[in-house]
Amino acid sequence: GRDERSVPWRERPPLTQLEDFRVVVIGAGFSGICMGIRLIEQGIPFVILEKNADVGGTWLENTYPDCAVDTPNHFYSYSFHPNNDWTHHFSKQPEILAYIRDTVARYDLRRHIRFGVEVERAAYDESSSRWRLQFKDEQGHMDCNVLVTAVGLLNRPAVPPVPGIDAFAGPRFHTAEWRHDVELDGKRVAMIGTGASGMQAGPAIAPAAASLTVFQRSPHWAMNNPNYHRKVTDGMRWALNNVPFLSQWLRFQLYWASSDGFHSQLKVDPSWPHPERSLNAQNDQMRERLVQHIHTELEGRPDLIAKCTPTFPPYGKRMLRDNHWYRMLRRENVRLETGAIDHVEANAIVMRDGTRHEIDVMVLATGFQASKVLWPMDIRGKDDVSIRDIWGDDDPRAHLGMNVPGFPNLFVSFGPGTNLAHGGSAIFHFECQVRYIQQALREMIETGISSMEVRRDIHDQYNEQLDDLHRDMVWAHPGVKNWYKNARNRVTLTSPWRLLDYWALTREFRLSDFTVRRRATGIP
Ligand code: N01
């Protein structure tokens, strides 16, 4: 026992004889799959429960036209399963889904996944130190020692509360629930919302539609990145496959450029003389470039330039990549409506100033109910306390984004304060979280811990630090509305850290941050 424990955890052999121990992972998207692969390697029994019929999570659900990633793919992929054959620097959804399926096949993960199972309720039972899960529609139940939620943040579509929206007689659908059976050719299409999803879908649907009316509540910044539309050359693919370490070097470069090389643009400089337009000198230079891009693309169209130039500092909302958006707005069949929507009728959207837009199809690119982390699952910790009683509708907190006092043996992947607003790959963060959880599990199993609960003082201290850091970040700017913060202007979902900081924070699991209960002896 003792000798084994002095070996670093990564080098210890896989665990065996763990018939009584089970981890349940909820979700078979990027993070749940990563967790599953590591659990196989560690020899820890587990089941992944997935509500959909296949793996992929967000990349299975979002199939709107031109859906693509906006993080370079050579970084937006698993470090342990690099793909040197990406066809594009920023690949489209089908290629990313294929990569996910390929990863699952390579690690033979499917046999651990139960598809079509949606967890409705998870309750912690203190006497047995186990979680009891109840599935939806009385599909069954399951017990486990440790629960890992890997359900993502952006998967419950938000439908805008516009009066009369349900009275619309034509097809209406959200970008995350694209209706491929609805023909858009020759139709009068309305698209509400101009965030990352709208930016990608709009230019793809405009050419075939009879007309496209874009309803923009507020403009977003969108940068021009030549690589965004570029294919990876044959030469580069060859080199990535044949030159030692080149793919790791490229990955490192992308990591560096998106983290340390960039983080200073996001922080308020109190001595900066133009706080009305930017945060600091670097942020201002970025603004200058973005404005220039708008002027170049919309030359001769001062009306559109005025409508498309945001008034908040760059990065206040997620920075978009120009998917030929401005060029699309110049098309004869496209209109940009920036007034306030009053109501919807059977065949029209009516504006507050009385303007009627008659339409056949309504596309909602209106984002997600992001703040309701883990919703609609009913998660109950010690004393039957619901996580909603602690977080309310929109005020989630967790230690390192993963652990909540009162909820022992629960780890939240992609939890509060861990979304990457700009820069960096979410998969990098998932890997940090999974590595941390892996260490926690080994500690539990090897030393006979039955319950592990994060200390409240540690949790509170971490969250104070998080709130302090956010105060100086661009997305907390009171003039900006975004999905990173809640109704009371507290940034709840996004990480204030550089990638390096979060990597360092989660690198070593610290048992002293937890209150533990042990059963007899561990299994070395
Ligand atoms: O959602 P959003 P999204 N009336 O919330 C508007 C990731 N992602 O699906 O800006 C009128 O950003 C709303 O207006 P406003 C990425 O992290 C990545 O586009 O609030 N309009 C906004 O324009 C992203 O940030 C990729 O004033 C209403 C839009 O709808 C996140 O997912 C692709 C409205 C919603 O934008 C979410 O992006 C897609 C109302 N009542 C998504 N309610 C890539 O990797 C909302 N809006 C490329």
Whether residue 369 has its Cβ less than 6 Å from ligand 1: no
Whether residue 365 has its Cβ less than 6 Å from ligand 1: yes
Find the 197 Cα to ligand 1 centroid distance in Å. Answer: 6
Q: Bridge-partner residues for 23, per DSSP?
A: 46, 146
Beta strands in 359-448 (DSSP E): 361-364, 378-380, 410-412
Find the 180 Cα to ligand 1 centroid distance in Å. Answer: 21
Q: In what order do the strands lie in the sheet with 46-50?
A: 113-115, 46-50, 23-26, 146-149, 410-412
Whether residue 195 has its Cβ less than 6 Å from ligand 1: yes
Ligand 1 atom 8: the closest Cα is on which residue?
A: 196
- Indicate the residue type of 96: I
Q: Per the structure block, which two tokens stand in for 110?
A: 């499917």
Substitution site in 156, 366, 485, 493 for ligand 1 pocket (most atoms within 8 Å of beta carbon): 366
Substitution site in 318, 336, 480 for ligand 1 pocket (most atoms within 8 Å of beta carbon): 318
Whether residue 451 has its Cβ less than 6 Å from ligand 1: no
pLDDT of residue 4: 66
Find the 172 Cα to ligand 1 centroid distance in Å. Answer: 17
Whether residue 73 has its Cβ less than 6 Å from ligand 1: no
Whether residue 34 contacts residue 10, with contact meaning beta carbons closer than 8 Å, is answered with no
Query: Does pTM top 0.90 for this prediction?
Result: yes
Find the 77 Cα to ligand 1 centroid distance in Å. Answer: 23
Report the candidate in 433, 424, 482, 329 with the shortest Cα–Cα distance to residue 70.
Answer: 424
494 burial via Cβ count (<10 Å: 0-12, 13-18, 19+) = buried
Question: What is d(CA 411, CA 407) in angstroms, rounded to the nearest whole number?
Answer: 9
pLDDT of residue 3: 60
Count the Cβ atoms, other than its own, within 10 Å of residue 355: 12
Find the 474 Cα to ligand 1 centroid distance in Å. Answer: 18
Q: What are the respective helix, strand and coil percentages of the chain, to the nearest 5?
A: 35, 20, 45
- Indicate the residue type of 360: D
Find the 364 Cα to ligand 1 centroid distance in Å. Answer: 10
Whether residue 156 has its Cβ less than 6 Å from ligand 1: no
* Ligand 1 atom nearest to 218, measured from its CA: 27
20 burial via Cβ count (<10 Å: 0-12, 13-18, 19+) = exposed
Report the candidate in 146, 124, 108 with the shortest Cα–Cα distance to residue 20.
Answer: 146
pLDDT tens by residue, the chain, 524 residues: 446 677 888 888 888 777 789 999 999 999 999 999 999 999 999 999 999 999 999 999 999 999 999 999 999 999 999 999 999 999 999 999 999 999 999 999 999 999 999 999 999 999 999 999 999 988 899 999 999 999 999 989 999 999 999 999 999 999 999 999 999 999 999 999 999 999 999 999 999 999 999 999 999 999 998 889 999 999 999 999 999 999 999 999 999 988 776 888 999 999 999 998 999 999 999 999 999 999 999 999 999 999 999 999 999 999 999 999 999 999 999 999 999 999 999 999 999 999 999 999 999 999 999 989 999 999 999 999 999 999 999 999 999 999 999 999 999 999 999 999 877 899 999 999 999 999 999 999 999 999 999 999 999 999 999 999 999 999 998 788 999 999 999 999 999 999 999 999 999 999 999 999 998 666 65
Find the 493 Cα to ligand 1 centroid distance in Å. Answer: 15
497 burial via Cβ count (<10 Å: 0-12, 13-18, 19+) = buried
Whether residue 194 has its Cβ less than 6 Å from ligand 1: yes
Question: What is d(CA 338, CA 323) in angstroms, rounded to the nearest whole number?
Answer: 20
DSSP letters of 23-37? EEEE--SHHHHHHHH
Instruction: Please give the radius of gyration of the chain, using alpha carbons only, rounded to the nearest integer.
Output: 24
* Ligand 1 atom nearest to 193, measured from its CA: 30
Q: DSSP code of 267?
A: B
Find the 105 Cα to ligand 1 centroid distance in Å. Answer: 33
pLDDT of residue 474: 94
Report the candidate in 197, 148, 155, 228 with the shortest Cα–Cα distance to residue 430.
Answer: 148
Helix (H) or strand (E) holding 126: none
Substitution site in 217, 475, 491, 494 for ligand 1 pocket (most atoms within 8 Å of beta carbon): 217
Whether residue 481 has its Cβ less than 6 Å from ligand 1: yes
Whether residue 318 has its Cβ less than 6 Å from ligand 1: yes
Q: DSSP code of 278?
A: -
Preceding amide of 376 cis, omega within 30: yes
Whether residue 364 has its Cβ less than 6 Å from ligand 1: no
Q: Per the structure block, which two tokens stand in for 449?
A: 């811990």
* Ligand 1 atom nearest to 161, measured from its CA: 41
